[in-house]
A = this chain, B = another copy of it.
């Protein structure tokens, strides 16, 4: 769970979703109104855009995530497209601003931004109208927990978690690009165009595999077959391949993908590792590829600021370190 402001306490009976259309028309929906609309359930992996930040060299400001800023759940709610249609909004261009009830001051800026601001993000209409983009009120078959956005949150599959605004209280449909704090000064990256960096909001998940076992510092028997396993996910595609290197990137062998591919949800994988006969310290690496041909890069791209961290770990800058979680193992770490 990652919030930018204190978790708001909302009462479903008095709560309303306030919708503002491009012509200025407004519609308010109650919690019960939403329950009367046809419900859909989707599985989605949500990863924080700053997940794995602790591995950046040099250190970057922000939550120092290791590998845990990602999870998968099933979400039940009403497609955003159906809510807009119910509100009489038929726009196919422009964007939708999603605003949460959570708010507070921003202290990172100099001079500071005046007053409190609400957490808010926008979705271009092409993304907003995808049928799997939900306004969700249930998670894993139970009512949405308060920490996950009760009574209503967005779930934007295929995009970094920052897009899935919690504690939703307002939707604004507009033709004018929204440039809120959490998609400009924060949660943005540099896209190089004609050699010039241009600031873009963080959007689509980048293909990534994480090793769950062996864990950091784990000591495994020499000369045996060890089950390495983990998860891999990507953006608007499916993972097609995971490869494992037992020798810090010199050679790669395919892992076995488990279960069936499920769009927008991570895929579990395993790899039977014949551990070396000789005791010592060894570096395991994992690398995923998706069906669109995206492959995890070996090098960090600094234009991503402190976000979208999917380069294969440990990268060259980490090789002199020891015991990075899940990536080194040995008796003497």
Contacts and interface: CB of A to CB of B under 8 A. Distances in A.
Interface of A: 20, 56, 58, 60-61, 97, 99, 109-114, 117-118, 120, 170, 172, 174, 176-181, 184-185, 188, 190, 193-200, 302-303, 305-306
Which of A111, A114, A181, A306 has most chain B Cβ within 10 Å?
Answer: A111
Contacts of A185: 184-185, 199
12 contacts: A60-B110, A61-B110, A97-B194, A110-B306, A172-B194, A174-B193, A174-B194, A178-B196, A180-B196, A180-B199, A184-B184, A185-B185
Nearest to A301: B114
Given A170-B194, A178-B193, A179-B198, 19 more contacts: A60-B110, A60-B111, A109-B305, A113-B303, A114-B302, A117-B197, A118-B195, A118-B196, A120-B196, A172-B194, A172-B196, A174-B194, A178-B198, A179-B200, A180-B196, A180-B198, A181-B199, A184-B188, A184-B199
A193 B177 contact: no
A194 B110 contact: no
A196 B302 contact: no
B194 A179 contact: no
Contacts of A180: 196-199
A318 to B, nearest CB: 16
B99 A197 contact: no
A199 B179 contact: yes
